[in-house]
């Protein structure tokens, strides 16, 4: 799955440009390689004061790299290589110049249904591919969905992703909030209640991301984080629906994602939903 003309066999020589964003771990820069290609480079400075912490951070990044390097799909960001130099880990990735869906929404407002369906289909295809490869993303949201200028969607930021065999339970809600960087708006009830985090939790997050693309904000964005966390966790109130201006199919799709884990369809099943299968 080599990006055209990229070199993974030797050290990538590059010049650092502007900051593209801050991810789950580290800062992402635009880079220009010695071959004249634009790339995205995620850099994480390891804690040089504490070897134990540094080792943990390095292992975490190694896990992310191991996940990324085995993935090859049109809707997953391409991986180009990695280096460790002067206690800084660099992960080299395909550059996606369109920016995130979150930034697209800021620039253009909520998406019209045709575009919404096009993007949703591709997000689902990426997620279904991950799930088929026993990977759960665990941090799907508009900020981690990127857009190529051609309209191709790329999922990024595998800093929270896990192989299904490696899942560990976090200790409490405050830890949980830290681990997903204080964005409970896209989190499934079972993640908040710690009753089992799996592929279906990503499907819930897909529903929240579609809601975000349709309205400009995720569900419950009018609530503060803790209120939203408890609301979703309690599930006493149902999740809001997308506006009536969207088709019955679009509304039904979001509702199907934002339902109880047992009834919630898989990403693969949702690929046959009339909202995206046209």
pLDDT tens string 211-262: 999 999 999 999 999 999 999 998 766 899 999 999 999 999 999 999 999 9
* 5 lies in some domain: no
What residue numbers bound the domain in which 64 lies? 14-94
Which member of 9, 10, 139, 252 is catalytic? 139
Shared domain for 49 and 133, answered yes or no, is no
pTM for the complete prediction? 0.89
Q: Is 139 one of the catalytic residues?
A: yes
pLDDT per residue as tens digits for the range 51-95: 888 888 888 788 778 878 889 999 999 999 899 899 898 989 999
In a domain, 105, yes or no: yes
- 180 shares a domain with 73: no
- Residue finishing a domain among 71, 94, 117: 94
Q: Are 64 and 161 in contact (CB under 8 A)?
A: yes
- The annotation status of 16 as a binding-site residue, yes or no, is no
């Amino acid at each position: 799955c080599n990006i055209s003309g990229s070199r993974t066999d030797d050290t990538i020589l590059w010049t650092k440009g502007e900051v593209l964003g801050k991810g789950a771990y580290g800062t992402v820069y635009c880079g220009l390689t010695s071959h004249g290609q634009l790339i995205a480079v995620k850099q994480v400075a390891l804690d040089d004061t504490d070897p134990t912490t540094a080792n943990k951070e390095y292992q975490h990044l190694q896990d992310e790299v191991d996940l990324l390097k085995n993935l090859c799909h049109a809707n997953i960001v391409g991986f180009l290589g990695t280096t460790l130099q002067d206690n800084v880990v660099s992960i080299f990735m395909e550059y996606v110049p369109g920016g995130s869906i979150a930034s697209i929404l800021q620039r253009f407002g909520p998406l019209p249904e045709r575009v919404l369906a096009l993007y949703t289909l591709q997000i689902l295809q990426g997620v279904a591919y991950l799930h088929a490869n026993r990977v759960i993303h665990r941090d799907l949201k508009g900020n981690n969905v990127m857009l190529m200028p051609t309209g191709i969607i790329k999922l990024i930021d595998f800093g929270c992703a896990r192989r299904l065999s490696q899942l560990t339970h976090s200790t409490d809600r405050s830890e949980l909030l830290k681990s997903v960087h204080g964005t409970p708006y896209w989190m499934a009830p079972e993640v908040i209640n710690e009753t089992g985090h799996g592929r279906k939790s990503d499907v819930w997050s897909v529903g929240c991301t579609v809601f975000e693309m349709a309205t400009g904000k995720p569900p419950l964005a009018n609530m503060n984080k803790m209120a939203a966390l408890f609301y979703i966790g309690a599930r006493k109130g149902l999740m809001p629906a997308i506006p009536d201006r969207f088709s019955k199919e679009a509304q039904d799709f979001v509702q199907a994602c934002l339902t109880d884990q047992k009834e919630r369809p898989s990403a693969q099943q949702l690929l046959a939903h009339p909202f995206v299968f046209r």
